Structure 1
Amino acid sequence: MTTNSDAILARMMALHPKVIDLTLDRVWRLLETLDNPQKKLPPVIHVAGTNGKGSTQAMIRAGLEQSGAAVHAYTSPHLAHFHERIRLAGELITEDALTEVLDRCYHANGPDPITYFEITTVAGLLAFAETPADYTLLEVGLGGRLDATNVIDTPALTIITPIDLDHQAFLGDTLTAIAGEKAGIIKRGVPCVVGPQHDEAMDVIEAKAARLGAPLLAHCQHWHVSEERGRLVYQDERGLLDLPLPALPGPHQIMNAGAAIAALRALDKDETACEAAMTQAYWPARMEKLTKGALVDLAAPAELWLDGGHNPAAGRALAATLKQQPPRPTHLICGMLNTKDISGYLAPLAEVATSLTAVSIPNEANTIPAEETARIAATVGLDAKAAPDVAHAIRDITAVSPHARILICGSLYLAGAVMRENI
């Protein structure tokens, strides 16, 4: 069903520049027209990085909300519905509120070129400015320095999760270049929590922080985190915390949890908030086991899992997560965009997967055709074939392996399509 907000979003797409030049000029212009809502936000926590942004933000939100705080949150992309991008004081924005704020931004912008992400980010900032809350969590969309979210003069805190190769066409093809873009969210005098980094990325972050006098709270320097005997152990200069493991599965979530705890401690939250960050965080389509819905029924008695990771680092994290799961044949259903390093993503998974069935991402112009995904998957050692869609792939897998673990993976856009289908 098409909603009023869908219609406005479609009109916004028509404003898209012919060429995307990464600049904040269009954003500043629209914000000025709307009386600068970015200056009227509750204290902002700004999160950048290649992987782990959303998971880290979800844990921070869970901890803040446990402490009694009302929290705005902005994330992208959405999975099933655009409303997921904007959470007002703990609740997803309503259809009426979304329609109203999008319409105001559309008319304030007029016919001037502006990207979809830029104008919808401004809409989120406008909604946040007009709704009381205690904190605003902003997740960077792409990069950091020239991202549409990077318009906050003095956030309360910035966070940089692990940096790896992704979006090279926009951010550069080296870790040093990409880190320079991500470090663009660091602000003068504002503390910055830093997750685990490659040395060359850390060098860039440290240099930028030093220039701006921004105190760093860096992994392995100012805080440490590890799994010990089925518990999460976190330590910093304030002392040691013995906490439950994160509710979000996968060994990579230990480090995301560490960054979230470091952020909560920097905001003077107590151990109870840190424990809630571990136990109460929910972040869909990140190694999520689906438990109900049409596709789950189709797969039964096989397990059905969903993950939206899409770059080589995500492939490595996913493979490590699968190695920790109870023994069971794992069959992948994979669809990816043509902007991604598909062989780099799939190579680690070849070690843990029994087969791969490739699909094209529905209604996505930039999808890699299923046959091409299958061809590339075979080159990294996967037993691969193509299927017309996810439902056909599930039927093919369960026909030969009825008790399999089926993991749908490769793209957040595919994950969103699956969530819409699995009603």
Structure 2
Amino acid sequence: MASLDQVLAQLTALHPKKIDLGLERIERVLKALGNPHLRLPPAIHIAGTNGKGSTTAFLRAMVEAEGKTAHVYTSPHLVRFNERITLASKEISNSTLLNVLERVMEANAGQPLSFFEATTAAAFLAFSETHADYALIEVGLGGRYDATNVFDPIASVITPINYDHAEFLGRDLAKIAREKAGIVKDNVPVFAGRQEDLVSAVLRNEAAKHRAPIQFLTEDFRAYREQDRMVFDADDVLMDLPKPALIGSHQIDNAGVAIATARAIGISDEAIGKGLSKVIWPARLQSLTTGLYADMVADSNGELWLDGGHNPHAAAALADAMAELQDRSERVLILIMGILGNKDAGKFLDKFTGLASSVIAVDIPGSPALAPETIKELAENRGMIGQVAENLTDAVQRAINTGEALSREAVSDTITPPRILICGSLYLAGQVLSA
């Protein structure tokens, strides 16, 4: 009997492209499987450029605080593939995952099928055979032609839209918005995060075509921090809520969209508050306090943060959060950065100009990463001290040493341990968490 790793490896060989947008292949396989996507519990579809995963995590936490269960499909994973599929509020077991993947392979009969299409079909198959109260399904890439776009949701969520995956979606923001709005269905309500004016106009137009009522953060509902609490404000309600457990002002926005959606599907105000305070979503402005690298930094009394954001829009939110931390407690900020070669590393670093003192570049083994030497040069062009590390352990030690050195003007000055942020890639984040 094949192992889970062997089956996952076999799936990568079915189609030459890792990503190939289109619905024909997955619809063929789903039909051969008996159309499991038509037997889902009430489902919410989540698209967008940034914040999809966090908004999904908020929704899951709120549903579960209500005493309900949720199937959840997200991507990519950080450490184990199983993280992508939550079955009735529990991570899918190896045996169940292996079973549905093998059935997908059998139904596919060796025909072309991308890895993501195969795993999406497997998730739908698992979801159709286990009871849950809701399904929360995150788009992989785009929307209109994403493999997840084959079911009828009870609500559609569109988080902030910006530039990313240019090789698949292009560099036309209006076109990107139209593609992501492809998840909008007839008469199904849409809840949208903070958007640029052009994007808002596109989303309104697409929603109107489908007679889908659409609500926007900042227009139809609002979410903001007030002292150490969060306020959600809509025409029919003013809610005083706990501050979200996920850090950063952008998470207030993500929480606001989740709250609007949760209220629409009948989640109680009490469960919404509990969900905000209990939500967990690793590698999103995560304070690392355990593990190899956290132990290294703890010995120096520094801070270690981890975030998987990998595009300029995500970098802006991340830099804002780091600036907030600096206002509360000033420390030298050192970035440890690895990023894929198809990302705009220069614009990512632009957001940290004047905030980060040094960038230590690392490779991401097993991924098509940008050369660390290139990251170093980009950092130096922006006035930051650039370094190249051999590996993550070397990078963390360099960050500690560099931060301590930069924190004092004279040898006799007191050392202030640095604030270290590992960033640039979810693949890099996964390696940090698996160490």
SS of residue matched to 1:398: helix
Q: Could you say which residue in structure 1 is the equivalent of 2:193?
A: 195
Q: Could you say which residue in structure 2 is the equivalent of 1:369?
A: 371
370-379 or 275-284, which deviates more: 370-379
Unaligned segments of structure 2, at least 5 residues: 405-416
Q: Could you say which residue in structure 1 is the equivalent of 2:393?
A: 391
Q: Deviations over 1:93-137 (max 9, x none)?
A: 011111111111112112111111111111111111111000000
Q: Could you say which residue in structure 1 is the equivalent of 2:348?
A: 345
Q: Could you say which residue in structure 2 is the equivalent of 1:135?
A: 134
- Report how many aligned residue pairs link the two structures: 417
Q: Could you say which residue in structure 2 is the equivalent of 1:407?
A: 421
| 2:267 equivalent to 1:264 | no
Give yes or no for contact 2:332–2:419 (8 Å, CA) kept in 1: yes
| 2:78 equivalent to 1:66 | no
SS of residue matched to 2:352: helix
Give yes or no for contact 1:264–1:273 (8 Å, CA) kept in 2: no
| 2:423 equivalent to 1:420 | no
Q: Could you say which residue in structure 1 is the equivalent of 2:144?
A: 145
| 2:368 equivalent to 1:354 | no
Q: For 1:248 and 1:224, locate their aligned partners in 2 and report how far apart those are by CA, in whole Å.
A: 18
Q: Could you say which residue in structure 2 is the equivalent of 1:77?
A: 76
Name the aligned partner's letter for residue 352 of structure 1: L
SS of residue matched to 1:351: coil
Q: Could you say which residue in structure 2 is the equivalent of 1:125?
A: 124
Q: Could you say which residue in structure 2 is the equivalent of 1:237?
A: 235
Deviation at 1:399, TM superposition (A): 2.7
Q: For 1:46 and 1:140, locate their aligned partners in 2 and report how far apart those are by CA, in whole Å.
A: 7
Q: Could you say which residue in structure 2 is the equivalent of 1:15?
A: 14
Q: Deviations over 1:15-60 (max 9, x none)?
A: 1235954211011010011000000000110000000011111011
Q: Could you say which residue in structure 2 is the equivalent of 1:175?
A: 173
Alignment of 1:296-315 (within 5 A): 296-300=294-298, 301=300, 302-315=302-315
Q: For 1:181 and 1:53, locate their aligned partners in 2 and report how far apart those are by CA, in whole Å.
A: 15
Q: For 1:336 and 1:400, locate their aligned partners in 2 and report how far apart those are by CA, in whole Å.
A: 21
SS of residue matched to 2:150: coil
Q: Deviations over 1:162-213 (max 9, x none)?
A: 1011111211212101100110000000001011110111111100111101
Q: For 2:361 and 2:255, locate their aligned partners in 1 and report how far apart those are by CA, in whole Å.
A: 32
Give yes or no for contact 1:260–1:277 (8 Å, CA) kept in 2: no
| 2:255 equivalent to 1:252 | no
Name the aligned partner's letter for residue 95 of structure 2: D
Unaligned segments of structure 1, at least 5 residues: none
Deviation at 1:221, TM superposition (A): 2.5
Percent of residue pairs bearing the same amino acid type: 46
Alignment of 1:316-327 (within 5 A): 316-325=316-325, 326-327=329-330
SS of residue matched to 2:136: strand
Give yes or no for contact 1:143–1:182 (8 Å, CA) kept in 2: yes
Give yes or no for contact 2:21–2:147 (8 Å, CA) kept in 1: no
Runs of 4 or more off by more than 6 Å in structure 1? none
Give TM-score, length-normalised by structure 2: 0.94
Name the aligned partner's letter for residue 114 of structure 1: L
Give TM-score, length-normalised by structure 1: 0.96
Q: Could you say which residue in structure 2 is the equivalent of 1:5?
A: 4
Match of 2:285 among 282, 287, 301: 287
Match of 1:274 among 272, 275, 287: 272
Q: For 1:120 and 1:128, locate their aligned partners in 2 and report how far apart those are by CA, in whole Å.
A: 12
Give yes or no for contact 2:19–2:116 (8 Å, CA) kept in 1: no
Match of 1:332 among 323, 331, 335: 335
Name the aligned partner's letter for residue 319 of structure 1: A
- RMSD of aligned C-alpha atoms? 1.3
Give yes or no for contact 2:229–2:243 (8 Å, CA) kept in 1: yes
Give yes or no for contact 1:362–1:417 (8 Å, CA) kept in 2: no
Q: Could you say which residue in structure 1 is the equivalent of 2:99?
A: 100
Deviation at 1:92, TM superposition (A): 0.4
Deviation at 1:12, TM superposition (A): 0.4
Q: For 1:91 and 1:308, locate their aligned partners in 2 and report how far apart those are by CA, in whole Å.
A: 23
Name the aligned partner's letter for residue 50 of structure 1: T
Q: For 2:110 and 2:94, locate their aligned partners in 1 and report how far apart those are by CA, in whole Å.
A: 24
